[in-house]
Amino acid sequence: MALKQVIEIHELLDNAYVTGEKVASFFRERGVEQVEVRPIAGPLGKTDFVKLRIPGVEGKAAGRGHRPWESSVGWAESEPGLT
């Protein structure tokens, strides 16, 4: 079952025109309630930072101690046509 989800998110992200809002919508449609998008722009282009919070049953959000958390960071070089 996990391979299907990996392929879905890969197909979404493997697009030069995907936005943070499209990624957020993808996860909201799948039940992730806490999704935050922060656009960042500079002279060479722009990118969106997408933060997802998927609370576990034993973590800090559940009020049950200090369980470890995982993070993933990705980036985009520049908007197509700006380089």
> Domain boundaries in the chain?
2-62
Alpha helix (H) residue ranges in the chain: 2-13, 20-28
pLDDT in tens, 42-81: 999 888 999 988 877 766 666 666 655 565 655 544 445 5
Beta strands per DSSP E along the chain: 34-42, 45-53
The residues, any chain, with a CB within 8 Å of residue 48's CB and separated by 6 or more, are 19, 20, 21, 23, 37, 38, 39, 40
| pTM of the model as a whole | 0.68
pLDDT in tens, 7-56: 999 999 999 889 999 999 999 999 999 999 999 999 998 889 999 888 77
